Amino acid sequence: MPSPGAPHGISGSIPSKGPESLRPPGRKLDAWKEIADYLDREVRTVQRWEKTEHLPVHRHEHQKKSSVYAYTSELDEWVKKRQPVDDPEADAAFEPEPDLENVSAESENSGADLASQPAAVTAVEDSSDSRADTKASVRKWKRVTLLTTVAVAIFTVAYVALHGIQPVAPRQKKVRLVVIPFANFSGDPKQDYFSAGLTDEMITRLGSLDPQRLGVIAAASSNALAGKPIAEIGRALDVQYALEGSVRRDGNRVRIDAQLIQVSDQTHLWADSYNRDLNDILRVQDEVASAVATQISLALNPSNEKASRSPGQSKIDNLPINGRDYMNFQLHPFSAEAYDAYLRGRFYWTNRGDLHKSMEAYQQAIQKDPQFALAYAGLASTYALLGQVPYDDLAPSDAKPKAREAANRALELDPDLAQAHAVLGNVAFSYEWDFEKAEQEFQRAISLGPNSPTSHLWFSHYCIVRNRLPQALEENSRTLELDPVSPLFNTVRAEIEYNSRNYDAGIEQGRRTLEQYPSYWLAYIWLGSSYREKKMYAEALDQFSRGRQLSGDHPVMVALYGHALAVSGDTAGARKALADLQHLAQSRYVSSLYFAAIYTGLGEKSNALDRLDKAYKERSDRLLYLGVDPISDPLRSEPRFTQLLHKIGIQ
């Protein structure tokens, strides 16, 4: 039932093998050209390797032709094991095949037989069985291409009309950068929050530089790999560059040392030191980000070096952030005390150790500086989480309006804050039940901050609610591109598989996540739920029991445990869980939705619907998921349940 609302911290120790084995299959390469570019070889070479060296390339079969795809992690493993040798003579003798674009999984599943246009006619010409048939082959491919293009266009228009979503534009291959957590050289462990918050800020700054071409790994993955060798980090996160540094603070004076490293050969491309007042810290962040962007650009395009160093012009002048003048990004001066409090708020937000401390820190920042837009956005995000499943620390009616108010204030001060737009999208769909507004706000947030995993995370949950589960998986894939080893985003993938009723996939994903993060209690929700739907009740109860222990008997885990007891036939145990929830409700907010779950398992539909009506009055965000959640299947034939879904806009 519950859904993690935004990134969580990493609980417990992290095994050294975690990032490698938890990592999903890696970035998907959808054509021979992409595979060849990734391996830095010619298409002819990689096609030969597939035939003779068992290069791990997968195929979609259609119309006696096939399109290919591969995963970067599998290619990396193959290169590591095989150490392939170039053979120009063998390449010259090898007859290449056409490079067809990938056929979507949706088309395969629906039985549609759509082939994409060949990457180049020359590829078709080279693959003809006879040189005499070349012209006929080309004419044939042109006819196929024309028919396919028309079919794809008709399919796309029909799909958009029926589902109300925009087609996803093809993603360009990005340069990828990781910001390794800045070391705290202040000699005071209490200043860890400052270096951690500064690292998080640098990730945000760099992620806004050129989102279409520069992907910046989010904080959870960079924290998980802190202390690992650069080469290992590069392999695990598929990054080409790493920014590392240190922070030394003495009162209101800060020294920041930073250096940019090219992962492939450990080359230090750039390094600099900054000694500034804390009041000038954002200017330092801007200068570091601009210098990093310039150095990456020069590394990719050495011919631009001379132009970038023309007389009288700094390398870091006037680089845009989403159309804004980067060096004028800070809209007003702020106090050192306000920024210090803001970084503490970010620290607790990122680690999710205590969201109430995050809220208090943001409030202190606002008290010190009422014009601090970023602090309002942070406060809005914190309230949004505190008022929804699985946190439930505040009733939605207490938390969500405050989240909306803080987000609106942030946008009054800075209309282009992606984080604030994401919060408005969260509130619109989870509390106001205004889906049109929610979609607009999420799209605005993603356009302003494509490298923000939280925006993609919340939008993926919106897609679950709207029963757009393939799109939810796509958004989840984007969060995993930004944060590959995040336990939260890997857990959310298990959640989507569960709601898609792909229980075996949900179990596999849940087990893989918990193998590496056994203390991450949210993952037990979806592993246990998938087991339950397969009627593997002993396994489900085991997972929910562990979740109860790790979460300190969080209401959501008590409810799921009680429901599993009920459907497995243990009525007495289920009623004991109901009593446990009643006891918890005496000292904290407990959603009526949790009682409804246990009553549903017991087959007491009237009691369950009564509790759902109360959850409706509470504006519980998880009500929205009942349109797709298998746990509510026993209620679907009940008119009261249908009426409830209609009231909240779920058809």
Q: Give the H/E segment covering residue 451.
A: none
Q: What is the mean pLDDT of residues 612-634?
A: 96
pLDDT digits (tens, 9 = 90+) for 13-27: 333 334 444 444 567
Report the pLDDT value the prediction gives residue 158, as an integer from 0 to 100.
37
The answer on pLDDT for 88 being more than 70 is no
Name the least confident of 7-16, 202-211, 266-275: 7-16
Indicate the SS3 state at residue 446: helix
The answer on pLDDT for 132 being more than 80 is no
Share of the chain above pLDDT 70, in %: 75
The DSSP bridge partners found for residue 297 are none
pLDDT band at 168 (very low <50, low <70, confident <90, very high): very low
The model's pTM: 0.69
Report the pLDDT value the prediction gives residue 636, as an integer from 0 to 100.
97
The answer on pLDDT for 322 being more than 80 is no
Beta strands 267-277 and 241-250 are: unpaired
pLDDT band at 353 (very low <50, low <70, confident <90, very high): low
The answer on pLDDT for 81 being more than 90 is no
The answer on pLDDT for 214 being more than 70 is yes
pLDDT band at 440 (very low <50, low <70, confident <90, very high): very high
Distance CA 371, CA 421 (A): 18
The answer on pLDDT for 456 being more than 90 is yes
pLDDT digits (tens, 9 = 90+) for 367-394: 999 999 999 999 999 999 999 988 888 9
Indicate the SS3 state at residue 579: helix
The answer on pLDDT for 153 being more than 90 is no
pLDDT digits (tens, 9 = 90+) for 423-436: 999 999 999 999 99
The answer on pLDDT for 261 being more than 50 is yes
Domain ranges for the chain: 31-163, 175-328
The answer on pLDDT for 116 being more than 60 is no
The CATH superfamily of 175-328 is TolB, N-terminal domain (3.40.50.10070)
For the CA atoms of the chain, what is the radius of gyration?
26
Name the least confident of 121-130, 281-290, 327-336, 495-504: 121-130
Distances (CA, A) of 308 to 271, 297, 409: 17, 10, 39
pLDDT digits (tens, 9 = 90+) for 412-425: 999 999 999 999 99
Higher-confidence residue of 75 and 93: namely: 75
Name the least confident of 63-67, 94-98, 407-411, 553-557: 63-67
Most confident option among 89-103, 126-140, 195-209: 195-209
Within 10 angstroms of residue 66's Cβ, the number of other Cβ atoms is 16
DSSP annotation of 425: H
pLDDT digits (tens, 9 = 90+) for 545-600: 999 999 999 999 999 999 999 999 999 999 999 999 999 999 999 999 999 999 99
Report the pLDDT value the prediction gives residue 162, as an integer from 0 to 100.
34
Q: What is the mean pLDDT of residues 454-477?
A: 96
The answer on pLDDT for 328 being more than 60 is no
The answer on pLDDT for 104 being more than 60 is no
Q: Which of 464, 459, 494, 469 lies closest to 109 in space, CA to CA?
A: 469
Residue 210 in contact with residue 249, Cβ under 8 Å? no
What value does the mean pLDDT of the chain take? 79
Which ranges constitute the DSSP H helices of 449-591? 453-465, 469-482, 487-499, 503-516, 522-533, 537-551, 555-567, 571-585
Name the residue type at position 290.
Answer: S
Name the least confident of 129-143, 500-514, 600-614: 129-143
Q: What is the mean pLDDT of residues 425-451?
A: 95
Higher-confidence residue of 29 and 114: namely: 29
Most confident option among 210-214, 265-269, 334-338, 490-494: 490-494
Report the pLDDT value the prediction gives residue 543, as an integer from 0 to 100.
98
pLDDT band at 60 (very low <50, low <70, confident <90, very high): low
576-602 burial by CB neighbour count: b if 16+ within 10 A, else e? ebbebbeebeeeebbbbbbbbbbbbbb
The DSSP bridge partners found for residue 390 are none
